[in-house]
Amino acid sequence: MAQPLTLYEKIWNAHVVERRDDGTCLIYIDRHLVHEVTSPQAFEGLRAAGRKVRRPDLTLAVPDHNLPTTARIDAAGHRLPIADPESAQQLAALERNTAEFGIDYIDATAPEQGIVHVIGPELGFTLPGSTLVCGDSHTSAHGALGALAFGIGTSEVEHVLATQTLMLSQSKTMEVRVDGTLGFGVSAKDVILAIIGKIGAAGGTGHVIEYTGEVIRGLSIEGRLTIANMSIEGGARAGLIAPDETTFAYLKSRPMAPRGKDWEKAVAWWKTLPTDAGARYDKSVTLDATDIAPSLTWGTSPEDVVSITGAVPDPESFADPSKRVAARKSLDYMGLTPGTRMQDVPVQHVFIGSCTNSRIEDLRAAAEVATGRHVADGVRALVVPGSGLVKRQAEAEGLDRIFAEAGFEWREPGCSMCLAMNPDKVPAGERCASTSNRNFVGRQGPGSRTHLVSPAMAAAAAVTGKLSDVRELMR
Amino acid sequence: MEPVTQVSGRAYPWGAKNVDTDVIIPARWLKTITREGLGQHAFETVRAQPDNIFDDPRYAGAPILVAGDNFGCGSSREHAAWALADMGVKAVIAPSFSDIFSGNAFKNGIVTVALPQDAIDRLVEVAADQPLTVDLETMTVTTPFQDRFTFSLDPFRRRCLMEGLDEIGLTLARDTEISKFESGLAEDRPWIARESGYEGITIEGAGRT
């Protein structure tokens, strides 16, 4: 009998072009997503060396990071200019480069435009068992469909454009198993925050995570995308979830998904991919779903996770001396005092969006909490759909009206307030309950203070004006 | 790329843990379309603090940075490596690195040296007033006090660094192998090839989110 293999090993083996004596492999890349921020220097490199894009058909480009999320066309249908000259220059470079190299480009004003990690799955560009890369660390999100997907730097973007391959060493494998049933008011975001809290921000370094267990199986593709998206926050370059009937149902007849005989053949192969019984992971971690409460971060690393019923920790309570130093610095930056109940912390900003939580289910969860309530005085709340298709769907369901009536701003798709590269920023010293993925120093703007939360928890913070236990509002 | 065999000189004795890419170079400086000039914005939030090591004249222009666990975590931005290179850093020594960052550093001729925490503690202490040497020939980090720490590096990366090889050129030389793989791909997984020229959501099945 053949040696039992993990999902990761099966995908890896199917993509080895050549194995070198030292064990590194030339790996074929099936899908390449390109955006405006990490690609200009790669195209410039190709141009300087007189090189072509090997497989434009496997490449798809869309702007997302620095596009403003305000209206993009005027009443007469004309494109509105981008005020920031550097953003405008980078966006123009993407348009020019994709035209020059023959790559499909989704324009800022196209109905399918959106965050690169939202549009890949929703267009069916992302496929199980494929290798998918993008010059963005949250590419790990696509692992939710069983694609081996990871972020790359600009030199690697250039390498993939020129050769459709990457020279890689095989990673170790780590199983993260979540057993049991999620409690009332607990979402996929709380699960991944709990996982990172447990394994730490470097817990998955050098590993590819595979998420398993009842909880993961029970999640929709949207929930799985939230989990896989934040694999990188646990140090893992990629996170995988085995494809199953939920995956196939999600992908069937999406615009770029295989059709007809190709679809049948693809599904048959995808069904062979899940990890074999008896296959070994280098590391295994198990969480019990009943231990997971609605969660959030208190500090400036995504591993600084606490339950909403908890309090700001005392830095002196950490055993590791370097962690004590880091915690003291974090609390100073965050303007928090040890022992303060998380639910007593007021917020001035709420951001519902980002590649972690801007899909239709996320917006539905937030809208449910917002219904019949109003954003608290002194709070600015933004809802930024992940793509034009999500926006259209939400509007068809009337979610935009719920948000507008509740005092939330309803914006155009993009990365928005996740990373302070466009006009949506949190001012210095102000605090934001954010559904994004990083609470780093200055991430949402210089001096900004971020608490990572689920969409429902973000909506709860918006209507109460402070970090709140969404379960109290759902009863 | 310039070949690197040895990096020797003063080192920033930092030792900070979980130094993320937003600390190395904040996102607002990523709107550039060239690789140069990012050094002046590197570690901006750290440099806003009084008495920070990056503005300490003792370490000005130091080619080595000593940091804590999980250096370069966060985003995939190669701008972090470009910013370090632009400020003259040619080697970073830490207990561990984010996988993406170490790849980016390597592609810009920056050596990432992983050493255990006790070695880092010692190097931070020594680097306060002494130079360090990172040697790719002997695979060691040494100090003027007979300290000698051995490290390992992916053999392919080591060779590329020492010979200053162009990785894309190396891979393009494997064109026959790549073409052969693509023929097999067309046979075994025909759904991977796509028609270029996406027509938009008029295609049936779109609009479902």
Asked whether the beta carbons of residue A112 and residue B154 sit closer than 8 angstroms, the reply is no
Contact: B107, A49; criterion CB under 8 Å: no
pLDDT reported for residue B208: 52
Report chain B's mean pLDDT, rounded to a whole number: 93
pLDDT tens per residue across span B86-102: 999 999 999 999 999 99
Pick from A168, A187, A206: which residue ends a domain?
Answer: A168
Residues of chain B with C-beta less than 8 angstroms from the C-beta of A122: 208-209
Q: Are residues A319 and A465 in the same domain?
A: yes
pLDDT band at B206 (very low <50, low <70, confident <90, very high): very low
Which single residue is written with the structure tokens 């720490």?
A: B149
CA distance A290 to chain B (A): 29
Angle at A174 between CA A171 and CA A176, to 5 degrees: 150
Same domain for A314 and A463:
yes
Rounded to whole angstroms, what are the CA distances from B195 to A29, A103, A131, B198, B199?
17, 11, 18, 7, 10
State how beta strands B148-150 and A148-151 pair: unpaired
- List all residues 6 or more positions away from B146 whose beta carbon is below 8 Å from its beta carbon: none
Q: Is it true that domain B6-165 has CATH number 3.20.19.10?
A: yes
Flag whether A96 is in a domain: yes
Q: For position A101, which CATH number holds? A: 3.30.499.10
Using 50, 70 and 90 to split pLDDT, how confident is the model at B201? low
For residue A393, which residues of chain B lie inside 8 Å, CB to CB? 207-209
Res. B163: pLDDT tops 60: yes
ipTM score here?
0.95
Q: Could you list the pLDDT tens digit for every one of the 475 residues in chain A?
A: 689 999 999 999 999 999 998 889 999 999 999 999 999 999 999 999 999 999 999 999 999 999 999 999 999 989 999 999 999 999 999 999 999 999 999 999 999 999 999 999 999 999 999 999 999 999 999 999 999 999 999 999 999 999 999 999 999 999 999 999 999 999 999 999 999 999 999 999 999 999 999 999 999 999 999 999 999 999 999 999 999 999 999 999 999 999 999 999 999 999 999 999 999 999 999 999 999 999 999 999 999 999 999 999 999 999 988 899 999 999 999 999 999 999 999 999 999 999 999 999 999 999 999 999 999 999 999 999 999 999 999 999 999 999 999 999 999 999 999 999 999 999 999 999 999 999 999 999 999 999 999 999 999 999 999 999 999 999 7
Strands, E assignment, A9-93? 16-19, 25-28, 31-34, 59-61
- Nearest by CB to B206, which of A165, A255, A441? A255
Give residue A423's domain range: 295-474
Is A138 a member of any domain?
A: yes
Give the residue from A245, A266, A243, A263 showing the smallest Cα distance to A253: A263
- Does residue A81 lie within any of the structural domains? yes
The rounded Cα A13 to chain-centroid distance in angstroms is: 26
A125 falls within a domain: yes
Q: How many residues does chain B have?
A: 209
Tell whether the model's pLDDT for residue B166 goes beyond 90: no
Q: Is residue A440 part of a domain?
A: yes
Identify each DSSP E strand in chain B by its residue range. Answer: 6-9, 11-13, 64-66, 91-94, 111-114, 132-135, 140-142, 148-150
**Does some domain include residue A342?**
yes
The DSSP annotation for A405-469 comes to: HTT-EE--SSSGGGTTSSS--PPTT-EEEE-SS---TTTTSTT-EEEE--HHHHHHHHHHSB---
The DSSP annotation for A191-223 comes to: HHHHHHHHH-TTTTTTEEEEEESHHHHHS-HHH
Residues of chain A in contact with residue B81, where contact means CB-CB under 8 angstroms, are 153
pLDDT tens across B130-161, in order?
A: 999 999 999 999 999 999 999 999 998 999 99
The verdict on a CB contact (< 8 Å) between A387 and B209 is: yes
Task: Report how far residue A191's alpha carbon sits from residue A471's, in angstroms, rounded to the nearest whole number.
Answer: 16
Q: Which residue from B minimizes the CA distance to A423?
A: B28
C-alpha neighbours within 13 Å on the C-beta side of residue A358: 39
- Compute the count of residue pairs across chains A and B with CB atoms less than 8 Å apart: 238
Chain A residue with the nearest C-alpha to that of B76: A137
Q: Which residues of A318-335 are buried (b: 16+ CB within 10 A; e: fewer)?
A: eeeebbebbbebbbebbe
Residue A415 lies in a domain: yes
Which residues in chain A are closer than 8 Å to B201, comparing Cβ atoms?
111-112, 255, 389
* Whole-angstrom distance, CA of residue B40 vs CA of residue A77: 41
How many domains, in total, are found in chain A? 2
Containing A248, the helix (H) or strand (E) segment is helix A245-251
Are residues A153 and B68, on separate chains, in Cβ contact within 8 Å?
Answer: no
Q: Do A153 and B168 touch (CB under 8 A)?
A: no
- Given an 8 Å threshold on Cβ–Cβ distance, is A254 in contact with B35? no
User: Which residues of chain B lie closer than 8 angstroms to A420, CB-CB?
Assistant: 26-28
A411 CB-contact burial (10 Å; exposed 0-12 / middle 13-18 / buried 19+) = buried
Q: A352 has which bridge partners?
A: A383
Q: Pairing state of beta strands B132-135 and B140-142?
A: antiparallel
Q: Which of B24, B168, B176, B183 to probe by mutation at the A interface, max A CB count within 10 Å? A: B168
**Domain end (from A153, A168, A183):** A168
